[in-house]
Amino acid sequence: MSLVVDVMSGGVRGGTSIMYAALGETVSERAGVINLGTEGSMLVGALSAYAIGVESGSPWLGALAGAAAGGLLAGLHAYLVVFRGASQFASGLSLLFLALGLTSLFGASYVGSGLKHGFRTWDVPVLHAIPAVGPILFEHDPLVYAGYLTVPLVWFVLFKTRIGLLARTAGERADSLTVHGYSVAWTRTGAVAVGGMLAGLGGAHLSIAYANAWFENMTAGRGFIALAALIFGMWRPWRVFFACLLFGLLDAVSIRLQGVALPLVGQAPVQLIQALPYALTVILLAGFIGRAVAPRAIGQPYVKEH
C-alpha cells in the first residue's frame, strides 16, 4: 500500500513540470500556434528560476523569473511565426537549439552549486490527513498546488471569458476575428507568450522544487512529453491534466522498476514503459481510443485577405 502511495505521489511531483508545459501548449495551440520550443521555454525557465533563486534567496522570485524567461523565448517564436510568417516547426526547433546553447553557456557556473532556498514541502492542513489521497495529492511543494489551481484557471479563461473566446477563435476561424475588428496576430502572440510563461514555470518547478539543482539539458525531453500529453488530453485542460498525471505515474513506475526482475518477462523493460506516453498518444491519434481533433487553423500562418 505505502509503495503504491509512494509511486503515485512521485507521479504527481514528477508530472507537475509536464503539466505546466502542457497547459501552456494548450493555450498556444488553441490559438493556432504549435510551439516545439516548449522544451526550450522549460529549459530557460529552469535556469532563470535557479539563478534568481540562488542570487535572491527567494524561490518565489525564482519562479517569476522562470515564467518571464519562458514567456520571452515564446515571444520570439510568436514574432517569427505570426509577424514574419516563418515555419512553426523550423522556428520552434531553432528556439530549442537557442535555449540549449544559452542555458549551457550561462548555466555552467551553476552546475553543482547548492540551492539553499528552494521550495519546501508544505502539507495542506486537514486535507493531507486523508488516508492515501492526502499523501498522494497534498504533501507537496507550493508549485504543485498552484498547478492544481492553474488547471481550472486555464479552463475558465479559455472557455468562459471573452479573451478565451478570442484566443480559440484565432485557432479555429481566424477570419471572423478580423471581421469583428480584432487582431489575429496580437491574439496569437498573447496566447503563445502565456503558453511560454507556463512552460517556464514548469521548468522552474523542475529546478527549484523537484531536483533542487541545475544541470545541462535537465528537462530531458519533458517539453515533448507535454506535447504528447496535450494531444492525449485532446486540447482540453482537464483531460490534459489527467494525461499528465498518467504520464507522470508511468515515469514514476518505470523509475521504481529499474533493475527489478519481473515474473515471465525477466528484467523489467523500463525503457519500453517510458515509450508508452508517445506510443499511446499515436494510438489515440489514430482514432482507436477516441477522436482527437486539433484546432482547425493549427500550424497555419494567417494571411489577411484584401
Partner 1 sequence: MTASALTELDGAGLDGLGARAVKVLPGLVRWGGALAAALVIFSVLLLVKGVDPFEAYSRMWVSTFERPRSVQEIFVQMTPLVLGALAVAVPARAGLTNVGGEGQIIIGAVAACGTFLMLADRASGALIDVAMLVASMVAGALWAGLAAALRLLGGVNEAISTLLLNFVALDVLLFLIYQPWRDNPVGQPTTKELVDTAKLPVMAAGNKVHIGIVIALVLVVVVHLALNRTRWGFRISVAGGNAEAARRAGLNVGLLVVSALMIGGALAGMAGMIHFAGVEYKLRPGFGNQLGYTSFLACWLARHQPFPIVVAAFVFAALSVAGDSLQLDSGLPGSSVNVLTALILLAVLGFTTKRKVSRA
Binding region for partner 1 (CB under 8 A):
34, 36, 76, 79-80, 82-87, 89-91, 93-98, 100-102, 104-106, 108, 178, 183-185, 216-217, 221, 224-225, 227-228, 231, 267, 269-272, 274-275, 278-279, 281-282, 285-287, 294, 299, 301-304
Toward partner 1, which CB reaches closer, 9 or 28?
A: 28
101 HSE (CA, 13 A, CB side) = 6
Q: Cβ of residue 100: shortest distance to partner 1, in angstroms?
A: 5
Torsions phi, psi of 262, nearest 5? -105, 150
Residue pair 220/203 in contact (Cβ under 8 Å)? The answer is: no
Q: Cβ of residue 230: shortest distance to partner 1, in angstroms?
A: 10
Q: Cβ of residue 106: shortest distance to partner 1, in angstroms?
A: 8
Q: Cβ of residue 140: shortest distance to partner 1, in angstroms?
A: 27
Q: Which three cell numbers stand for residue 283?
A: 494510438
Toward partner 1, which CB reaches closer, 106 or 238?
A: 106
Please tell me the distance from the alpha carbon of residue 153 to that of residue 295, in angstroms, as a whole number.
20
Toward partner 1, which CB reaches closer, 140 or 188?
A: 188
CA-closest candidate to residue 208, choices 21, 11, 57: 57
Toward partner 1, which CB reaches closer, 86 or 124?
A: 86
Q: Which three cell numbers stand for residue 150?
A: 492553474
Toward partner 1, which CB reaches closer, 6 or 172?
A: 172
Toward partner 1, which CB reaches closer, 177 or 198?
A: 177
Q: Cβ of residue 116: shortest distance to partner 1, in angstroms?
A: 25
CA-closest candidate to residue 95, choices 174, 3, 200, 209: 200
Q: Cβ of residue 195: shortest distance to partner 1, in angstroms?
A: 17
| Buried b or exposed e, range 241-256, using 16+ CB within 10 angstroms | bebbbbbbbbbbbbee
